[in-house]
């Protein structure tokens, strides 16, 4: 496991290579096995691969522009009727996506949706309060759901170096008290 953690990087550019269904399935399986508060399993996933939909998603926030080059985007959704720990549960699922994507030779990046502002192309052009509401409308997501993030997924266009052992900083570890 530590190998995937050390290799995990945030990738924002991808090749045109399609993701094999088996690899995508393993990434989604890892996300679904993520723990949730009280084991209520309120997290659901939308896999978007349609090029037009990816182009629309890429305009949603100031940080999502690279999503249009991804072969897929996983939108992490949260059913508020099943749970109350929206940010925590979704973020753990996103971390599992990061790690299994790395394990499968894929790359991804956490793109914030909740509480994000619109991207430059949409700012002032949309009457909805923010990207979360617009994505829900665009993808037909029921009102009771919240959206934490999108995870563009694909084969990295360029390799990024793994984390270095020098990043392990013992001075940031405290025992018993700060």
Amino acid 28: pLDDT: 98
Average pLDDT of adjacent 10-residue blocks, the chain of 178 residues: 92 97 98 96 98 97 96 98 96 98 98 94 86 96 97 95 92 96
Amino acid 57: pLDDT: 97
Amino acid 51: pLDDT: 97
Amino acid 129: pLDDT: 87
> 10 Å Cβ neighbour count for 95?
16
Amino acid 151: pLDDT: 98
User: Does residue 174 sit in helix, strand or coil?
Assistant: coil
Amino acid 58: pLDDT: 97
For residue 58, CA distances in Å to 69, 76, 135, 175 come to 9, 15, 11, 43
Quote the crossing angle between the two packed helices 21-32 and 86-103, to the nearest 10°.
140
Amino acid 123: pLDDT: 86
Amino acid 126: pLDDT: 83
72, 46, 114, 116 alpha-carbon torsion, rounded to 10°: 30
Amino acid 176: pLDDT: 98
């Amino acid at each position: 496991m530590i190998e995937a953690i050390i290799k995990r990087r945030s990738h924002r550019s991808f090749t045109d290579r399609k993701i094999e269904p088996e690899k995508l399935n393993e990434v989604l399986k890892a996300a679904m096995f993520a723990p949730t508060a009280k084991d209520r399993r309120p997290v659901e996933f939308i896999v978007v691969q349609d090029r037009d939909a990816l182009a629309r998603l890429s305009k949603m926030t100031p940080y999502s522009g690279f999503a249009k080059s991804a072969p897929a985007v996983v939108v992490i959704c949260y059913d508020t009727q099943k749970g109350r720990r929206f940010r925590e549960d979704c973020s753990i699922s996103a971390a599992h996506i990061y790690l299994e994507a790395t394990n499968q030779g894929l790359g991804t990046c956490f793109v914030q949706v909740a509480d994000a502002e619109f991207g430059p192309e949409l700012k002032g052009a949309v009457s909805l309060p923010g990207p979360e509401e617009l994505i829900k409308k665009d993808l037909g997501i029921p009102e009771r759901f919240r959206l934490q993030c999108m995870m563009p997924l694909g084969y990295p266009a360029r390799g990024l170096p793994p984390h270095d052992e020098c990043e392990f900083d013992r001075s940031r570890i405290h025992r018993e008290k700060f």
